[in-house]
A and B are shown apart, each in its own frame.
Chain A
Amino acid sequence: AQTVTQSQPEMSVQEAETVTLSCTYDTSESNYYLFWYKQPPSRQMILVIRQEAYKQQNATENRFSVNFQKAAKSFSLKISDSQLGDTAMYFCALGNYQLIWGAGTKLIIKP
């Protein structure tokens, strides 16, 4: 069975700081995708970043980057220069079409 674990239920940082959210997973698949989604309060789920397991290079999207350690089955999200609008639940997800989701990390950016 595939599992996704997010061990940080809640985190808070000051605006403009860098924050890293952790995610570990388990799968027996050889090829898979990993995703970070953001769910702002009372708003819909938005894709933040995606990583193909067969790619060694870590994905980056503007202020968002991942540290993908395939052997350790770790997929952390780094948010640089955090902004108030980054306040949201962040979910790590694994899979192809059937996504397996972690329980989420509530991230609060303080002014």
Chain B
Amino acid sequence: GAGVSQSPRYKVAKRGQDVALRCDPISGHVSLFWYQQALGQGPEFLTYFQNEAQLDKSGLPSDRFFAERPEGSVSTLKIQRTQQEDSAVYLCASSRDRGPPYEQYFGPGTRLTVT
């Protein structure tokens, strides 16, 4: 099997545009996570899905951020009306675990630049 894939790898958006970032987890992995990684920093948790259920969205920074995983596989992170502070690498991870320790496998990330 293939690893976690993310697309696009790079995205440049003008301030105010909407963007959609895609994550394809490892086949069969029930848990899926999104993180935001600013330049030179560690990742910050955004949201967590188990199958299609979004169990925790406490890390989403504002109501402009929305994530979904409608069929329990592919996930999309959508950012509306992008702002410069949204510029970051967005990481997706998946895990076969339904409970701890959630060994997470990461994708290569999408680098979003808002101009």
Contact = CB atoms under 8 A, between A and B. Distances in A.
A97 B103 contact: no
B45 A99 contact: yes
A54 B26 CA distance: 29
Interface in A53-99: 91, 93, 96-99
Chain B interface helix/strand/loop/mixed: loop
Given A33-B102, A104-B40, 4 more contacts: A33-B100, A44-B109, A97-B56, A98-B59
Contacts of A52: 101
Interface residues of A, number: 22
Contacts, number: 57
Chain B CB count within 10 A is highest, among A43, A50, A98, for: A98
A102 B42 contact: yes
Interface of A: 4, 31, 33, 37, 43-47, 50, 52, 91, 93, 96-104
Given A44-B107, A44-B109, A45-B91, A96 B102 contact: yes
A97 B108 contact: no
Nearest to B33: A97
Contacts of A46: 106
Contacts of B41: 103-104
Contacts of B18: none
Nearest to B4: A44
Contact of B100 (A4, A44, A97): A97
Interface string B74-103: 000000000000000001010000001111
Contacts of A31: 100
Contact of A98 (B56, B101, B107): B56
